[in-house]
Structure 1
């Protein structure tokens, strides 16, 4: 049976809750403290982007097994404005929020697999996977 955890992102407190959920899922999946921190940071960044740019959305965390590989699949979904210039957003140091600009390139570096599907006026779905090594 597949186990799924998800949280609606509507307030800043939801970002904190998503981080905590991610840490718990990472720990129960068997990730060490360093990878727990990576996963938690990635979730925090994805949740913050939903909150800042889309207003609301969802973070879903699913433990997955593919053959002998075990990991966590994180999906961030929103029905916000979409990303008009994905190439720019994926550039290191680019920020529209006045943040550190770790943003999406940071999430991509923290995780093993990373995919963005976005359509202007429709929304964005980002999937990121971390595998146990």
Structure 2
């Protein structure tokens, strides 16, 4: 059930959110967790659009130890992030936004992993487990 949305324009952010909501609903997530998932997807897709110009967001089902979850993978070949610690601080923003960005995504999901190398791009994997 792997599904990816290429992020090139703002409409792709909407498509990624919709895909995430549909997969979350199909897996049995309630409306509150569906909202958390779509918000996280929206932030990740918007970051691709704003900073990397293009990339993709993939949504897939995962299972571990009898638990079912939804994995969000955000990947781009953009400029990368030079200071991961800084971008993970609450209130940090390079776009003039609220700075909820990546720290906000981390709070919305159960597992969060980020890899980024300047000049090579960024890979983020976030998992929300079904309760």
TM-score range, shorter chain: over 0.9
* Residue 23 (structure 1) shift: 0.5
Match of 1:104 in 2: 102
Superposed CA offset, 1:8-39 (max 9, x none): 00000000110111100110011000000000
RMSD: 0.5
Match of 1:113 in 2: 111
Q: 2:8 aligns with which of 7, 10, 26?
A: 10
Superposed CA offset, 1:78-98 (max 9, x none): 000000011110000111111
* Residue 41 (structure 1) shift: 0.1
Q: TM-score, structure 2 length as denominator? A: 0.99
CA distance in 2, matches of 1:57, 1:29: 25
SS at match of 1:91: coil
Match of 1:28 in 2: 26
* Structure 2 spans left out of the alignment, 5+ residues: none
Dislocated runs of 4+, deviation >2 Å: none
Match of 1:82 in 2: 80
Matched, 1:65 2:63: yes
* Residue 66 (structure 1) shift: 1.1
Give the length in aligned residue pairs: 131
CA distance in 1, matches of 2:30, 2:98: 26
CA distance in 2, matches of 1:91, 1:128: 17
Superposed CA offset, 1:100-129 (max 9, x none): 111000000000000001111001000000
